[in-house]
Structure 1
């Protein structure tokens, strides 16, 4: 009888070990660290995100557009030319536009106002590259987004409603995957619960090695809508800014790993 229970105990221990190993393999944070290490070894210490940062810096400092001006005088919330940590303070209300803006929309605003570009002339790829450059100047800074202005509070409430809204042909929403079924549904990442795990909202903009693309939070939100078979909000639109504001408030206090490197 004792031998039987020893065998049962050994079997349970083996199954538990396999479960732990499987969990470790599925851990997106550990997986990203492994992929990042391998890529650094293969590329001589250069990540794809480094190239986007370099391109973004060149675009940011170059005199371009009808006004032949750079973006160095753009105010991202700390004053013109003050860039350190600004990514972790957005979205926020800007008095010059009388709007709440996120990182992408603020870059777009400055390209229009400072450089003279027409909205239809602004290339999405350039906005993303500039976002990566600004993100690199906020690395390891904390997220500090607090909706204090009435416009910010109104947009935060909209973002919260959109986050928990179930709609579309699949009757799903953001919270379905990122809160309700975390750890219970196939395909849902263990660390996708942004309301509890602050790592999930502290690494955008990010390079996604799974599809070899540079994304900002706006790209991620649009992809989620597409995954749910729902029409994706337009870039720079109020729904995207509202969702970003809601999620970044949940990430308050998190240290940013920017630009991120994720699956």
Structure 2
């Protein structure tokens, strides 16, 4: 009898502990959500958006030209709705590009900047910092619009399949893949919920929320920087800016975000 009572007590205690942990996690998640909501009213990302708008309209570079004729997929100068359809195939470059790599193309062709030199510049420095501000400005113009990446061109379909394969490929010293953190529901690292990026609604708060302002380091992070840091955390070699690897992952996540509303500029931990 005592043995049965002891076992029952242990089971009850374990269940209570598990329930308590789950309730604590829910409370933490709710507190973080409220914290972000409070910050949203004075989101520092607005400063990057303003800088991006100034850069978009300013005549710059060796050619002393603005970016107001930059074609991001909706026609020269059209920014509204462009972000939620990127990455996509561009005929003039013959490749699939995301927002940031396309902006560098425009800076090169319209303004005369050295695109290769910009791509080699560390994030948050020089013209690369300007690319992040420009991306924030362009992306914000589509806030609230639904993602609908095109998949009609063969290269767009190829990049989706390549991105899907990369997402689930394990490797590096820790045998990680993107899916290790973002391949299923209800995962968390420290106090951060990890969205499931293989579907919606998870991708609606993942891919659909970058560029975003990161409170932990007081920096504006673009999607390219977010992916670079993911590669670093997986102990993979860091990819080059605008590489096919990062864009393929962007296509995969972007297609999975179909129908989700853009939350840019968001606030992240």
TM-score (norm 1): 0.86
Q: Is the 8 A contact 1:32 1:261 kept in 2?
A: no
2:82 aligns with 86
Residue 235 of structure 1 pairs with residue 241 of structure 2 = yes
Classify the secondary structure of the residue corresponding to 1:100. strand
Q: Is the 8 A contact 2:212 2:221 kept in 1?
A: yes
Question: How far apart are residue 177 of structure 1 and its match?
Answer: 1.1
Q: Is the 8 A contact 2:187 2:193 kept in 1?
A: no
d(CA) in 1 for partners of 2:257, 2:71: 23
Change (3 A) 1:76 1:164: same
Give structure 1 stretches of 5+ with no counterpart.
none
2:62 aligns with 66
Q: Is the 8 A contact 2:52 2:137 kept in 1?
A: yes
User: Residues 209-224 of structure 1: matches in 2 within 5 Å?
Assistant: 209-224=215-230
The one of 150, 153, 156 equivalent to 1:152 is 156
d(CA) in 2 for partners of 1:53, 1:32: 23
Change (3 A) 1:185 1:103: closer
Q: Is the 8 A contact 2:53 2:134 kept in 1?
A: yes
The one of 26, 32, 52 equivalent to 2:29 is 26
2:210 aligns with 204
d(CA) in 1 for partners of 2:158, 2:192: 30
User: Residues 90-239 of structure 1: matches in 2 within 5 Å?
Assistant: 90-122=86-118, 123-180=127-184, 182-183=185-186, 186-187=189-190, 189-196=192-199, 197=202, 198-239=204-245
Change (3 A) 1:146 1:140: same
d(CA) in 1 for partners of 2:100, 2:129: 11
Question: How far apart are residue 217 of structure 1 and its match?
Answer: 1.1
d(CA) in 1 for partners of 2:265, 2:187: 30
Aligned length: 250
After TM superposition, where is structure 1 displaced by more than 6 Å over at least 4 residues in a row? 11-15
TM-score (norm 2): 0.84
Task: Compare 186-195 and 46-55 and name the one that shifted more.
Answer: 186-195
Change (3 A) 1:171 1:16: closer
Classify the secondary structure of the residue corresponding to 2:206. helix
